[in-house]
Amino acid sequence: MRFILTTLFLFLPVLGWTQERSMTIEEAIQIAVENNFQLKQAENNVMLSEQSIRSAYGDFLPNLNANFGGNRDVGRQFVEETLAFEDITAYRITGGIGTNVTIFEGFQNINNLRRSRADHEQQKASTDRIRENIIFDTAMRYLALLLDKELLEIAKQTLETSLMQLEQVEAQVEVGARPVVDLYQQQSTVATHELQVVQAENAVNISRTRLIRILQIEPDPDLEFVVPDFDDSDLMPQNLNLEEMIQAALATRRDLHSQEYQIQSDRYSLDIARANRYPSISASASLSSSYSDQFTGIIDPDTEEFGTIPFMDQFFDQRIGRGMGISVSIPIFNRFNTSTNIQQAQIQFRNSQLQLDDIKFGIREDISQAYNDYQSLIKELEATERTVQAAERAFETQQQRYEIGATTLIELNLATTDYVQALSDRQSVKFNFIFQEKLLDYYIGRLEANLSF
């Protein structure tokens, strides 16, 4: 990351794209946020965590089950209604409804609900950090592409200047005003600049492909990316306080909050594992009924007719059964599974705490480095301004001396190279200075999708 930042430079204000199909850095960021599959997956995981909370609430409620079945038994069998074995064909219908509720289970339901809430918050914080990463990566790739296009234009302009100078040297050599070695030297310079153009074109193609990849859009060769507007007001240094930035990051960084919620979740998982050592108490209730064609009795009190009791009388009146119960389960030995689960939960909890400490150290390191880079860039702004002025004077002097034959072509080329390099360094520092402020926002955790330059 640092290598990319130190190479992004040379945004000339005179260069821009005015084609109809264009995209700004703000639009690119918005598209990347909308299309990124990792962010979509994270948002889906947030919805899943919401369902987990709903399920955890449901664990406090009693369950309710209903059953209904029928049987046809043929052969010798025990008839429950007559308490005898008979060779018959019997038809039976059964049905019932039952419920069960957990009264006490070592507070597992409570801790499961708390863990589900912590997991939900952890997923939300993680999703927010993924969004920040997408914003930052998109801005990096967008600006890297613009830089490479600027470098390509400079390489082309430098090559054009070298070709013009080659024509002048050829004419001077023909009339004997310059030695032939100047011609060879200039031909070598032209070849070097041609190679630089090829390399710059390849860099543009690579940067464009990387940007299209993160945007997840179809490649469009006619699509142009707009250069952000920079002015001198963007170069005004801010009065930053390192410790205040670190404290702000510790309060706002989403990845830090995500890990804190992960620690809460692991702590509740440990409590759930320990709950398996406690007895559990549950209560149940049931209502059932049945019908059998072997169930006989008086079906008409007036005539005292004897026969099979009708279905409605059996199922909804005479054969209704009701039950209630309470059960207590006391764990005694379960092949060391409970102890193993507790130890695993304890290790996971400690690992999460260690990871939180590592994130905090990383935050301090990132912000300290970014802050020091920012302070260095302030000094580099002043130094590069003086370097440009000195290199410009040296170039103009060598150019005048070469025109009158007081210096060599090699010395003029060296002065030209130094001047171009000084201009490039100046633009690089200006760009890095502006982007470094966004980098600080990223490390602090306050980078938003409406990022602008």
Chain centroid offset of residue 340 CA = 33
Asked whether residue 247 carries a pLDDT value surpassing 70, the answer given is yes
Asked if the structure places residue 259 within a domain, the reply is yes
Kindly indicate the confidence band of residue 39, based on its pLDDT and cuts at 50, 70 and 90: very high
- Please determine, for residue 11, whether its predicted confidence score (pLDDT) is greater than 70: no
Q: Mean pLDDT over residues 268-292, rounded?
A: 94
How far apart, in whole angstroms, are the C-alpha atoms of residue 23 and residue 226?
Answer: 6
**pLDDT for residue 269 is more than 90:** yes
Q: What percent of the chain has pLDDT over 70?
A: 92
| Of 63-67, 135-139, 153-157, 337-341, the least confident | 153-157
> What pLDDT score does 83 carry?
72
Residue 31 lies in a domain: yes
| Whether pLDDT at 210 is above 90 | yes
pLDDT score of 2 more than 70: no
The answer to whether residue 297 is domain-embedded is: yes
- Which of the two residues, 16 and 449, has the higher pLDDT score? 449
**What band does 18 get if pLDDT is binned at 50, 70 and 90?**
very low
Domain that holds residue 97: 2-444
Average of per-residue pLDDT across 218-244: 80
Q: Is residue 162 part of a domain?
A: yes
Mean pLDDT taken over the chain: 85
Lowest mean pLDDT across 296-300, 327-331, 445-449 = 445-449
pLDDT at 285 over 90: yes
Sequence-distant (6+) residues with CB within 8 A of 399 are: 412, 415
The 10 Å Cβ neighbour count of residue 175 is: 7
Q: What is the pLDDT of residues 390-436, one digit of tens each?
A: 988 998 888 788 777 777 777 877 887 787 778 778 877 777 787 78
Between 62-66, 77-81, 261-265, the lowest mean confidence (pLDDT) is in 77-81
Res. 14: pLDDT tops 60: no
Task: Name residue 411's amino acid.
Answer: E
Whether the predicted pLDDT of 6 surpasses 50:
no
Residue 208: give its domain's CATH number.
Answer: 1.20.1600.10
Q: What one-letter code names the amino acid at 122?
A: Q
* Rounded Cα–Cα distance for residues 11 and 431 (Å): 7
Residue 299 lies in a domain: yes
Minimum mean pLDDT among 123-137, 316-330, 416-430: which range?
A: 416-430
d(CA 48, CA 60): 20
Residues 6+ apart with CB under 8 A from 119: 49, 52, 261, 265
Report the number of distinct structural domains present in the chain. Answer: 1
Task: Tell me the backbone φ, ψ of residue 321, rounded to 5 degrees.
Answer: -125, 140
State the distance between the two ends of the chain, measured CA to CA, in whole angstroms: 19
DSSP string over 265-330: HHHHHHHHHHHTTS-EEEEEEEEEEEEETT-EEEEETTTTEEEEPPHHHIIIIIT-EEEEEEEEE-
449 band by pLDDT with thresholds 50, 70 and 90: low
In 97-179, which ranges are continuous DSSP H helix? 108-174
